[in-house]
Chains A and B, each alone.
Chain A
């Protein structure tokens, strides 16, 4: 019997099986569930009305965040938040992230220890793939599936085939995990080798990445049409999780003889910073070929790249410089913890002096439903994960996706700029 990939092993364990094969359907135990202000109230509606359920299953970590809509800017949003709070109170949810201790769901799931290697974690949001950075199998699900998990702690899953990307080479200065991912999606496009499959990132260049950069990569596998993205745990994962010595977990790794549906080798030793140009995520070009494109806005934030090291890279580039007078730079840290750290270590002082507008943590401009929308004809360079037509505002606005370093360099120059100069 051939070996199993990390994804297969985790799904086997979660479904109480010795082994599973791609294509099989299993009923798996889910360790944690993330839901947001957009969907939360509807999930509880299904839970009560369609399932006839009354209590949440034991041993399930339920994390409920107010992240997409920011502080209420209109009555409709205020009512939505009110409904979220009512549900959180009714079920006495211990991990409800209201304004003041909020963060983007995917960030708080990882930074507050709800994601453990070797477990299955689900979120009612596409970018729940982020948690794979810590060696978990994670993915986005629907409202009704979320309600099923609340009631049972279980969910049916298809065991996916796995495509492995082995990444080698020393990453050049000012080139990040985001750039590696953009390069990979530009290379593979939306093809059958990744659709509905597990995407496993491996190799020395991945081992060298921070957990934050690994999160950016797994976050974006949702954009490939993959089921989940995963990186096997290592010393960096262990260190990240060492804040919670009481949390025990069994790290899981792909067997040496595991079967992969496709394998790619990617050498990043001469990789340029990458830019995904409007309106297709997989239309990716090296920064030097799009440098000079005039921008109106630069956005630094989101579950993809709103972490402390993202903000610090931007501060390094913006220290002693000013945001270009024709550009507004909007910065939204991914959580209150990150916000506080960025205040304490001077990052926000540098960014504010440079002329950045710093927001309270939330999804902000990313999804076009928070703060920072762009008008018709406007161009934004953004550290986020989607750039389809109208994603950030007007239908004929344009979003270029890039790393935090490229966003910061562009904010200084007023045009898309190469961060390697800084």
Chain B
């Protein structure tokens, strides 16, 4: 059941890229994606206790509203920071494009789930099955359906990153080219 993610919730309706990691920290670490450094600054612009609480295990799932990670550029610092403090899943009404792609490419599962924001409170316990898209609020009993993550995306999560996943595929193929299994195409 490795595709099941379970954890407590941190919730905020509007979260921009500059909230996940401040522009100042990003600029100071332009070419440095050190998780230890970036993790300390996760969400500090909107929640100064986020990193310490997440690392203590108070929560590991982020619930948000529309356009999570908006206003961003293609930089990946925010995703690295969230992973570093133990965030294992982000569920939002919708995602900004760079943030959505960066999350999956860096092995952080994301589910786009209509109605999630009002169905969950901070501190609730959530169980999400990435392979079916079923999101259960264990605290309230509410059940929601998100588009599931297909096999190849689960493969990326398992490998830890898109490039690591493709590297494995290439190695299995013997060299130059890789193709995803037919059923996932």
| Residues of A near any B CB (own CB < 8 A) | 15-16, 21, 23-27, 29, 46, 50-58, 141-142, 144-145, 147-148, 151-154, 156, 158, 192, 195-196, 225, 227
- Listed by A's residue number, 18 A-B pairs whose Cβ atoms lie within 8 Å are A15-B185, A25-B150, A27-B152, A54-B175, A55-B175, A55-B176, A56-B176, A57-B177, A141-B101, A142-B101, A144-B105, A148-B163, A148-B166, A151-B176, A152-B169, A152-B177, A156-B156, A196-B97
Decide yes or no: A27 and B184 within 8 Å by CB, A53-B176, A55-B175 being known contacts.
Answer: yes
B residues 131-176 touching A (CB-CB < 8 Å): 147, 149-150, 152-153, 156, 162-164, 166-167, 169-171, 175-176
Q: Is the CB of B101 within 8 A of A145?
A: yes
Q: Is the CB of A196 within 8 A of B163?
A: no
Q: Is the CB of B166 within 8 A of A192?
A: no
* Smallest CB gap from B70: residue in A: A195
6 new A-B contacts at CB < 8 Å, known A15-B185, A16-B185, A55-B177: A27-B184, A51-B166, A52-B171, A141-B101, A152-B170, A154-B179
Number of B residues with CB within 8 Å of any CB on chain A: 37
Q: Is the CB of A151 within 8 A of B153?
A: no
Q: Is the CB of B105 within 8 A of A225?
A: no
Tell me the minimal C-beta distance from A370 to chain B in angstroms: 20
- Tell me, in angstroms, the Cα distance from A153 to B179 when the chains sit together: 8
Q: Is the CB of B163 within 8 A of A27?
A: no
Q: Is the CB of A144 within 8 A of B163?
A: yes
B residues 115-139 touching A (CB-CB < 8 Å): none
- Tell me, in angstroms, the Cα distance from A224 to B98 when the chains sit together: 14
Q: Which residues of A contact B167 (CB under 8 A)?
A: 50-52
Residue B178 lies at the interface, judged by CB distance under 8 Å to chain A = yes
Q: Which residues of A contact B170 (CB under 8 A)?
A: 51-53, 151-152
Q: Which residues of A contact B60 (CB under 8 A)?
A: none
Q: Which residues of B contact A148 (CB under 8 A)?
A: 162-163, 166
- Tell me, in angstroms, the Cα distance from A46 to B105 when the chains sit together: 13
The one of B96, B147, B156, B163 in contact with A225, judged by C-beta atoms closer than 8 angstroms, is B96
* Smallest CB gap from A124: residue in B: B74
Q: Is the CB of B97 within 8 A of A25?
A: no
| Residues of B near any A CB (own CB < 8 A) | 66-67, 70, 74, 94-97, 100-102, 104-105, 112, 147, 149-150, 152-153, 156, 162-164, 166-167, 169-171, 175-180, 182, 184-185
Q: Which residues of B contact A151 (CB under 8 A)?
A: 166, 170, 176-178
Decide yes or no: A195 and B96 within 8 Å by CB, A51-B170, A145-B101, A148-B166 being known contacts.
Answer: yes
* Smallest CB gap from B164: residue in A: A50
Q: Is the CB of B179 within 8 A of A152?
A: yes
- Tell me, in angstroms, the Cα distance from A153 to B177 when the chains sit together: 9
- Tell me, in angstroms, the Cα distance from A54 to B177 when the chains sit together: 8
- Tell me, in angstroms, the Cα distance from A225 to B96 when the chains sit together: 8
Q: Is the CB of A46 within 8 A of B163?
A: yes
- Tell me, in angstroms, the Cα distance from A52 to B102 when the chains sit together: 21
Q: Is the CB of B74 within 8 A of A142?
A: yes
Q: Which residues of A contact B180 (CB under 8 A)?
A: 27, 152, 154
Q: Which residues of B contact A54 (CB under 8 A)?
A: 175-176
- Tell me, in angstroms, the Cα distance from A148 to B101 when the chains sit together: 13
- Tell me, in angstroms, the Cα distance from A13 to B33 when the chains sit together: 37
Tell me the minimal C-beta distance from B96 to chain A in angstroms: 6
Tell me the minimal C-beta distance from A9 to chain B in angstroms: 16
Tell me the minimal C-beta distance from A37 to chain B in angstroms: 17
Most chain B C-beta atoms within 10 Å of own C-beta, residue among A142, A145, A196: A196
Q: Which residues of B contact A50 (CB under 8 A)?
A: 163-164, 167
Q: Which residues of A contact B66 (CB under 8 A)?
A: 192
Q: Which residues of A contact B102 (CB under 8 A)?
A: 142
Q: Which residues of B contact A153 (CB under 8 A)?
A: 177
Q: Which residues of A contact B153 (CB under 8 A)?
A: 25, 156
- Tell me, in angstroms, the Cα distance from A158 to B147 when the chains sit together: 11
* Smallest CB gap from A149: residue in B: B166
Q: Which residues of B contact A196 (CB under 8 A)?
A: 67, 94-97, 100
Q: Which residues of B contact A152 (CB under 8 A)?
A: 166, 169-170, 177-180
